[in-house]
Amino acid sequence: SQQGEEDPQALSIQEGENATMNCSYKTSINNLQWYRQNSGRGLVHLILIRSNEREKHSGRLRVTLDTSKKSSSLLITASRAADTASYFCATHTGANSKLTFGKGITLSVRP
């Protein structure tokens, strides 16, 4: 069963705009991670936020976590055509647990 659910399912924006993607989850987590997948290729880890953190930055990426609402958001600022990909959130619930992935968000950035 899916722990994380991303929203929206698909997002289309113009190059230079910001892209915001959301993830909601159901149970308490140890950390939440965001991954990117270019078409037909393996997932690449982008950023991790621990349950005791509220915000984290990495380059043009900003991720927030609200454990009271069981939700996270990923913001990509100043988007580029090369950001076109699918983005997945994944939740980690314990030291010996697995990651549970959402179904993904398809982001299209128009040049």
Partner 1 sequence: DADVTQTPRNRITKTGKRIMLECSQTKGHDRMYWYRQDPGLGLRLIYYSFDVKDINKGEISDGYSVSRQAQAKFSLSLESAIPNQTALYFCATSYSGSHNEQFFGPGTRLTVL
Residue 41 touching partner 1 (CB under 8 A)? yes
* Nearest distance, CB of residue 91 and partner 1, angstroms: 10
List binders of partner 1 among 44-83 (CB under 8 A): 44-45, 48, 50
Q: Token pair for residue 32?
A: 């939440």
Which position among 2, 12, 28, 58 is part of the footprint of partner 1 (CB under 8 A)?
Answer: 2
SS3 5: strand
Among candidates 102, 93, 96, which has minimal Cα distance to 1? Answer: 102
Instruction: Report the alpha-carbon distance of residue 34 to residue 69 in Å, rounded.
Output: 18
Cβ proximity to partner 1, 18 vs 41, nearer residue: 41
Which position among 25, 65, 79, 92 is part of the footprint of partner 1 (CB under 8 A)?
Answer: 92
Q: Rounded to whole angstroms, what are the CA distances from 102 to 49, 77, 111?
A: 16, 22, 27
Residue 99 touching partner 1 (CB under 8 A)? yes
Residue 43 touching partner 1 (CB under 8 A)? yes
